[in-house]
Amino acid sequence: MINKRSLWFLTLFSLILVLSIYYITMPSELLLTTNKPNNENSNQEPTIYVEESDLLVALRVESDEEMSRQIEDLELVLTNAESSAQDKNKAYEKIKELNDIRGEEEKLETQIKETYKLDTFIKIKGSSISVTVNSSEHSNELANNIMRTIQSNYKDSKYITVKFQK
């Protein structure tokens, strides 16, 4: 059976997913903020531009949609009265594994951002880790450093690929 903690997590995860899709589909004009000063003597109008990498956003949305489809399928097994206890346990463990993988991906993205000041998208599938870096500069040294940084988080050897895209 699903406990309250898991139910809250799934509810909040769904809410975050809906809000992120809404944010991504907003027209870009709404993302530009113009602040007009209160003083009429000042002629400056500060403008803040928000810019995101379309590629990284698209990859994240695709990954989140894939994960939410998998979780929905597993939730159907959990809520089905005809499912055996063993099937429900397997589905619950798979949901838990998917959430752990997503947390691990976010942790690695944060580590790369803090270490190298680069925006990245990381996808983990089994023992392979795919890293997409938002940079027009293609550096073998940087790719090797990123691979070493990621590998330092694991005892087992991982197959890590780094791809640079702008």
Q: Which residue ranges make up each domain of the chain?
A: 4-9+17-165
Contact 72, 89 (CB under 8 A): no
How many Å apart are CA 80 and CA 39, to the nearest integer?
Answer: 63
Digit-coded pLDDT (tens) for 120-137: 999 999 899 999 998 888
Dump pLDDT digits (tens) for 14-42: 888 888 888 777 766 655 554 445 555 55
CA distance 147 to 130: 10
Report which of residues 85 and 31 the model is more confident about: 85
Across the chain, the runs of DSSP E, i.e. the strands, are 33-34, 47-48, 120-125, 128-134, 159-165
Q: 14-44 burial, b for 16+ CB within 10 Å, e for fewer? A: eeebeeeeeeeeeeeeeeeeeeeeeeeeeee
Rounded CA-CA distance 79/17 in Å is 21
How would DSSP label each residue in 21-41?
A: HHHHHS-HHHH-EE---S-TT
How high does pLDDT run on average in the chain?
A: 83
Look up the pTM and report it.
Answer: 0.64
Per CATH, which fold does 4-9+17-165 belong to?
Helix Hairpins (1.10.287)
Check residue 137 and give its pLDDT: 81
Q: Give CA–CA dist 71/162, Å, rounded.
A: 28
